[in-house]
Amino acid sequence: MLSRRSRYALRALIHLAQREAEGPASIAEIARLASAPRKFLEAILLDLKNHNLLVSSRGRSGGYQLATAAEAISFADVIRALDGPLALAPCASKTAFRPCEACPDVATCPVHPALVAAREAVAAVLEGWTLARAAREAPPFQIS
């Protein structure tokens, strides 16, 4: 399951991708358009900044903007930054592999190949889906 943190983050980042040429957006604007609680979103944006997906600037025209081009940021990047590995179990993870507690040997585990295949399928989709693609394909966010 995708966490609320990742869902709000993706909505916020897609908004920033749609307005990439306009410069920084305020937290208030991002929260309103992402339909996210402001305080919760502030913590999420700070985490994304710490993972080098966002940059921030202070002042009257300050706010948050993407750290790199929207084409270079995948959904997988965002989800990994906030939720960790994409794998269903640690034994199937490429980025955080460790043997499962319940399995004595990964090499002979009958479940392991399915978990690896699931991770590869999910990763292929999420790594191929960029913020730029989502920004192009999604309708612009509307202020209600």
**What predicted TM-score, i.e. pTM, was given to this entire model?**
0.86
Stronger pLDDT, 101 or 30, i.e. the higher one: 30
Which one, of 56, 96, 51, 47, lies nearest residue 73 by Cα? 51
**Hey, CA dihedral for 17, 21, 23, 27, is it positive or negative?**
negative
Q: Is the pLDDT of residue 71 over 60?
A: yes
Asked which of 30-34, 104-108, 140-144 is least confident by mean pLDDT, the reply is: 140-144
Q: Mapping DSSP to helix (H, G, I), strand (E, B) and coil, where does residue 24 land?
A: coil
Is there a contact between 18 and 140 (Cβ–Cβ < 8 Å)? yes
CA atoms of 48 and 82, how far apart (whole Å): 8
Between 138 and 2, the more confident residue is 2
Tell whether the model's pLDDT for residue 133 goes beyond 60.
yes
Give, as one character, the DSSP assignment of residue 60. T
Q: What is the pLDDT of residue 103?
A: 78
Using an 8 Å Cβ cutoff, are 100 and 90 in contact?
yes
- Report the relative pairing of strands 54-57 and 63-66 from DSSP bridges: antiparallel
